[in-house]
Amino acid sequence: MPISPLLSAYDHVLLDLDGCVSVGNAPAPRAAEALGTLRAAGKRLAFVTNDSRLTPEEHVRRLWSMGLQASLDEVVTAGSAIQFALADRVPRTPVFVIGPPAIARHVSDAGLIVVNGTPRAAEARVVVVAAHERFSYDELATATRAVLGGAEILAAVRDRTYAGADGPLPATGAIVAALEYATGRSARSVGKPEPLPYRVALDRLGPGRALVVGDRLDADLAGAAAAGLDAAIVLTGATTRAQARAARDPAPVAIADTLHALVTA
């Protein structure tokens, strides 16, 4: 299937996952065809997501289970951005992690030491925060002591809520806000709309002109602008056509009903 003139102008395509490539636990309409068209045209792909609950390997398995091909190097999560941000720290720096096992693994892969459950927990030099279902007051208390002792706060994202099966649930931003309030210190966020996830993706992809494709104005469009990249909005997720058309500074370079409609001529 021929690729659209818009996509022909780019070397790389940085794709959001939920709301763009997938919708819930199903692929977006004709998403497999869209990805196939991009690959056949020689475009290099990255899947860039703020979902840090899964490891990149788990995201790859999830995509394949939906019939969507992806490789490990193509997946960049907020956890990947955390790992990238920590890579310049002194090896074996102690880190206290509020977050799922996937985040702790990214910290370890950066060469740092996760000190949860040890006597050194409150002496951590970095506190990493990502929402998880077993978050507890004890975690908040330990993190507070560490930050008041001089630790920096590194947050996966600042999202206030995320969509649960029965409605909105508190997300990472709610935990970050509690820690900032308790300590009077500010966190650094690394997930979209910060530019770091896109820089991680481009570091892997190499030189070339890149287009971001996503469904959210606040994360995908704003994050692309922060990274100095063009962005297109698809309407299979959080944004309506009217909202996308009203977006200014930045404005999307294109608006399409689906990823497939954007990609194909």
AA letter at 76: V
Name the phi and psi angles at 226, rounded to 5.
-65, -30
Count of Cβ atoms closer than 10 Å to residue 265 Cβ: 11
16 is catalytic: yes
DSSP string, 56-118: HHHHHHHHHHTT----GGGEE-HHHHHHHHHTTSPTT-EEEEES-HHHHHHHHHTT-EE-TTS
164 Rama sector, left if φ>0, alpha if ψ -120 to 50, beta otherwise = beta
Task: Please pick, among 11, 16, 166, 230, the residue that the annotation labels catalytic.
Answer: 16
For residue 151, count other CB atoms closer than 10 A to its CB. 24
Is 18 marked active-site?
yes
In the set 11, 18, 88, 166, the catalytic residue is 18
Dihedral class, residue 228 (left if φ above 0, else alpha if ψ from -120 to 50, else beta): left
Bridge partners of residue 26, in order along the sequence: 23
| Active site residues per annotation | 16, 18
